[in-house]
Every structure is written in structure tokens, then in C-alpha cells.
Amino acid sequence: MKKIIFILIIAGGWYVNKNGWPDFMQRSSSPVITNASILSTPATAPASFKPRTNSSAPAPSFRCDGRQLCSQMSSYDEAVFFLRNCPNTKMDGDGDGIPCERQFGR
């Protein structure tokens, strides 16, 4: 019985390479795509990137203090700050990134 199985394997074309492994277990010659080169190089900004500097306008003095609703905001800029920087806000019902559209008419 062992001879029959051996003959079937050989006759079936199961080729064993020079390392002793069946042919289907050889490594592929196609390159493997990795992110190693991306991880080893430092992140740099594109050449056309210019950071926005607005030295004439003072920085907003807002801070996350638990407010979540449009009715708690006194200005559009304050609502934008809260939407972008604070957790659990409920000021952008349609998800377009513009807070309190009805209140501030934007």
C-alpha cells in the first residue's frame, strides 16, 4: 500500500526541489510589498506646503469645558473650535463639518 501511495505521488508530478521541499512550498519570486521604507524615513511636508500663519489675529481663548450644544455657543468661531477640538459635541447634525448652521446662518 505504501508503494502505491509513493508511486501516485511521484506520478502526480509532485516535484521536490533541491532543498527538499515540494515545489508548491517554494518562496515566490515576486517582491513582497512592505512599508519598511516608509517607516524608516522621517515624515516631511510636501514642498508646496506652507503653514498658515495669521499673526494679526489673536489666538482664540476657547477651551473644552463640557459644552456640547449650539445653544451653549456664543459665536460661530467658538462652535467651530468645539466641533474640531472637543469630544462628544452635538453641533453638526448633517455631518458636513459646519456647526450650528441654523443658529449662525451658515
What b/e string do you get for 57-83 counting C-beta neighbours within 10 Å, with b at 16 or more?
A: eeeeebeeeebeebebbeebebbbbbb
pLDDT tens-place values along the chain, 106 residues long: 878 776 766 655 545 555 555 555 555 565 655 555 555 555 665 566 566 655 555 556 889 999 999 999 999 999 999 999 999 999 998 999 999 999 988 7
Q: Identify the burial level of 99 via C-beta atoms within 10 angstroms of its C-beta, where 0-12 means exposed, 13-18 middle and 19 or more buried.
A: buried
Predicted TM-score (pTM) of the model is: 0.44
